[in-house]
Structure 1
Amino acid sequence: MSDPYPQRGAGYVDAYMHVGAPRFGTAAQALAACDRWGTAAAVLVLGPRVPDIAALVEAQRTSPDRFRAVGIPFGDTADRRLACVEATLEAGAIGIRMQGDELLQNPVVLARLGESGRWIYATDPLASERHTATLLEWLARYPTARVGAPHCLRPTLAPLDDPLAEELFRHPRFFAILSRQGQAGSSLAWPWEDLRPWVQRLLAWCGQARMLWGSEYPVIYWRGEQIDGTRRWLTDIAAGLDAEALSAVLGGNARRLFFQQPAPPVHMPQLPLWLADYPPPGPVPLEPTRQFQLPIELYQPLYDQYAEQNCPEHPLSMAEFVLARLRAGLGLPDAGGTQGAAQ
């Protein structure tokens, strides 16, 4: 029997996949998504309010050659956030994702990451002059530390007018991660051509060696996108990436940065109750109607079934899947195009 996923092992390395139940899926689902969509390896990143450290451990133990881990500074106090980070590093994480003012509110975490030569995955490096300066100072203080910037896309070049922005983006240990293409603020339809000048500026300031691709799985499903589309976008945006650059951005750079070194040691830490039994996150917004939000107790079993069925041969948006389940539950006929989706 032929391999149903012929792109498996093609060299794609995803620098930004989410993991963490119940909102972002399990380690097994992340691995299945990689297999189905031909992703050879990935950095699994915990998402906001979901400190599922056990999922990071499971993924790395199951597939040590395919997964690296990035955590979050979860907790309602500075001490708790540091404890969460320490537990995540014990679990083998290469770094911590920091969103918004987390970068400014956790100086002890920044020092811990810098001293150990880890990554900061900063989703808002240009949020203010202070955010940008903090990252530049951190890079200067810790010569083995590095910054990755997920969702590094904008429909305007205005945020890059600040001289500090150019200094950060030109820094040899700053890496732009091109993810969240369909939710980067574009006012246009696919391929969101108003993002092209930004990508061209990244090429000028970062060069192809410091640009990475990220799918933002499974959040892409919430807005009706698919993993292979996030790759194809790099060609369709027509920003000047030649074959060599595409190979680097889609896999070569991430493999060099994350997978040419031995995998970090992985241990399951003893977690305090507040971290092991974290409260469920909020509802999941499904595009294109943002007002339609699924309570998390409904989203998780629906996503479990959707993750089993969505594949390159029969791609299905999560919105279509949910509608098919609703039709089946109400005893209504299938609307066409989703045959079997509700089974």
Structure 2
Amino acid sequence: MMTLNRALLIGGVAISGLTSTASFAEKWHMPTPYGDGNLPTQIAYTFAQEIKENTKGELDITVHSGGSLVKHTEIPRSVKTGQVQMGEVFLGILGNENPVYKHDNIPFLATSFEDAKKLWEAAKPAVSKQLDKDGMMLLYAVAWPAQSLYSKDPVNSLADLKGQKMRAYSPSTSRLADLMGTTPTTIQVPDIPQAFSTGIIQAMITSPSTGVDSQAWDYVNNYTDVKAWIPKNIIVVNKRAFRRLDKATQQVILDAAKHAEAAGWTKVAARAAKDKATLIENGMVVSEPSPQLLKELQAIGKTMTEEWKAEAPKEVGEILTRYQN
């Protein structure tokens, strides 16, 4: 597995005329933007370990969590250019590159895990095609719990948020903030606590997992469980790096990716319940949305769906047709 002709070293000097076929350990790097407490990162560690075990250590992937090696927004480019062999990225941040990447950031298009999985199957061909054009290959996806509203004060209607600064983390969430009558402010996960404490933002829509990871109870009091959408992280590999591996190693990676995606869909609902309970344990008020707030947000969801379709009628139309049939 993964053999290569390498020059023999004799007395520290390379003798280029003599070669030997030798087995060697390949070292790969996999940056991920989220901390070790998050489900996608935990699955990434398991994914890397399975590959190491099933290649008998010949492919050793180091997971660099929490944006420690590459900042989140730079991960796609780093994989594309081969600076790292693979990486994990929140799918929605790619929305400006192609509309197909926005499918899981559209409010109220898919709000249950069953529907989110169906939407992913509908969008996956288009996502894979676009990644391939950019020199990357899709390996697997991990869903987040549904995104809900964090605020300092109770929110019964959008009027309660008017004029506030809302955290944004993708093109779609920026548009959502605009339509909610708030000011979008781009803040990545590690910077959330400081952004709230310094008044850069006053509210955000994100998962209970991100709330736990950033200890939301230190800076907000309310979690309104609007379940607006269920986004995903995707794990991609540099296409050339993958193709340089032998077929057996490629299959090990593909098998591990299949196991990782299955684990994500299996575990995400339990993680959502656990993290929501943790918010309550730490004093946050967790409540269901008022009928008025839900109606207002659903109307925004319809607007954003229509805007999304208008961006790429053919590609988006095909995704929606597959999803709705």
TM over 0.5: no
TM-score with structure 2 length normalisation?
0.27
Greater relative contact order (Cα < 8 A, sep 6+): 2
Q: With the length of structure 1 as denominator, give the TM-score of the two structures.
A: 0.26
